[in-house]
Amino acid sequence: MRHLVTSAALVVVAAGPAAALDEVTFGTNWKAQGEHGGYYQAVAEGIYEDYGLDVTIRQGGPQVMHGQLLAAGRLDFYMGGNMFTAFNYVENDIPAVTVAAIFQKEPQVLLAHPGQGIDGFEDLHDHTLLVGQSGRITYWRWLQAEYGLSDDQLEPYTFNPAPFIADPNKVQQGYVTSEPLAIMNEGGFEPVVLSMAEAGYDSYSTTIVVMRPFLEENRDVVQRFVEASILGWYGYLYGDRSAADELIKADNPDMTDEQIAFSVAKMKEYGIVDSGDALELGIGAMTDARWRSFWEKTVDWGVYPADMPYEEGYTLDFVNNGVGLDRKAELVE
């Protein structure tokens, strides 16, 4: 049964085949997975439809440039990676706006072998670090500034755990929701997990991004998409997610039930989606203070000029309304 919702932004769709839905396309930042589950849940439960939307989810991947397709007007909504996404758009005069932060915590971690004396980021100085290109221009700047790590320690990360598994001296990047399971299955050991979010790396992650012209012309569509997605996330985390999981596996046949279950468990354990401000303001919550905090750090790291108008990269207009808190209460009873 669908979860029919009410909202000031909800367009009441008349019964019958004549009712028209607004067609929108949402591009994710990687192949379909449990970390995208709330969006698939909103499709599976009919929540988007209840909000007057016909949503097509296009999965991303290593060769898919959804950020560029958004800027070109070929996508309506895009799953941004983190706050660097917003700042990069501003720096390059691209009128893209982050309208929600689905992940309150960055799931990015570093993974180490047990028994190597690694208990925190401060223990990494004598180790080789496998970090991809996107990591080198984002969280690596934080690791250098906070822990004095060196570029000389870096080797490329190719999304293959084999080099890490074979060498106890190596440390690799990963998502807390994904790579640890692959290492346990392929390497036969449980890696040491160093969470960046728990160590003070306070970027939002897995955001919802739209182009400003689209936002200004379709504010109600943006509001409905954000709210329906939030409700989908509550359903995925706390309700029956089986139909959404089937949609995920249909888009990405390589995805397994084991991996999805692991991802969901870790999202809950680490409070990736539902923690901090989201506990009172609802999933997707953002605050000016949090944006300012991370912005000031990136300036200190030398990533962006201090006079860049970073505030143009986000808006709080579509979140912080407590949407879905009543649904969570019902689901977790």
| HEC-encoded secondary structure of 161-229 | CHHHHHCCCEEEEEECCCHHHHHHHHHCCCCEEEECHHHCCCCCEEEEEEEHHHHHHCHHHHHHHHHHH
Residue whose C-alpha is closest to residue 78's, from 110, 30, 112: 30
**Is 15 within the bounds of a domain?**
no
Residues 136 and 48 in one domain: no
Quote the Cα angle for 252-258-261, to 5°.
Answer: 95
Residue whose C-alpha is closest to residue 217's, from 69, 29, 73: 73
Residues 215 and 86 in one domain: yes
Backbone angles phi, psi at 206, to 5 degrees: 45, 70
How do the pLDDT tens digits run along the chain, 333 residues long?
344 444 444 444 444 444 799 999 999 999 999 999 999 999 999 999 999 999 999 998 877 788 888 988 899 999 998 999 999 999 999 999 999 999 999 999 999 999 999 999 999 999 999 999 989 999 999 999 999 999 999 999 988 999 999 999 999 999 999 999 999 999 999 999 999 999 999 999 999 999 999 999 999 999 999 999 999 999 999 999 999 999 999 999 999 999 999 999 999 999 999 999 999 999 999 999 999 999 999 999 999 999 999 999 999 999 999 999 999 999 998
Backbone angles phi, psi at 137, to 5 degrees: -105, 10
User: Which residues make Cβ contacts (< 8 Å) with residue 309, sequence separation at least 6?
Assistant: 90
Residues 37 and 183 in one domain: no
Backbone angles phi, psi at 45, to 5 degrees: -80, -10
* Two structure tokens written together for 319: 């979140």
175: β partners: 108
Q: Is 94 exposed, middle or buried (0-12, 13-18, 19+ CB in 10 A)?
A: middle
Residues 154 and 258 in one domain: no
- Give the integer Cα–Cα distance in Å for 8 and 65: 34
Residues 218 and 295 in one domain: yes
User: β-pairing, 154-155 with 128-130?
Assistant: parallel
Residues 207 and 83 in one domain: yes
Final residue of a structural domain among 170, 199, 228: 199
Distance of CA 8 to the CA centre of its chain: 26
- Give the integer Cα–Cα distance in Å for 284 and 167: 39
231, 5 contact by CB (below 8 A): yes
Q: Kindly state the helix (H) or strand (E) to which residue 155 belongs, with its residue range.
A: strand 154-155
**Is 11 within the bounds of a domain?**
no
Residues 39 and 129 in one domain: no
Residues 114 and 221 in one domain: no
Residues 222 and 318 in one domain: yes
CATH of the domain at 84: 3.40.190.10
- Position 5 scores a pLDDT of 47
Final residue of a structural domain among 176, 199, 222: 199
Final residue of a structural domain among 145, 167, 199: 199
**Is 7 within the bounds of a domain?**
no
Structural domain span for residue 250: 22-104+203-331
**Is 163 within the bounds of a domain?**
yes
What's the chain's length in residues?
333
- Position 18 scores a pLDDT of 47
Residues 312 and 215 in one domain: yes
- Give the integer Cα–Cα distance in Å for 126 and 110: 15
SS3 6: coil
Residues 151 and 83 in one domain: no
Helices H, strands E: what count in the chain?
Answer: 15, 10
**Is 310 within the bounds of a domain?**
yes
- Position 68 scores a pLDDT of 84
106, 205 contact by CB (below 8 A): yes
- Give the integer Cα–Cα distance in Å for 32 and 192: 26
User: β-pairing, 170-175 with 128-130?
Assistant: parallel
User: β-pairing, 96-103 with 205-211?
Assistant: antiparallel
Domain count, the chain: 2
* Two structure tokens written together for 49: 């439809």
Residues 326 and 247 in one domain: yes
Q: What one-character-per-residue DSSP string does 68-94 give?
A: HHHHTTS-SEEEEEEHHHHHHHHHTT-
4, 50 contact by CB (below 8 A): yes
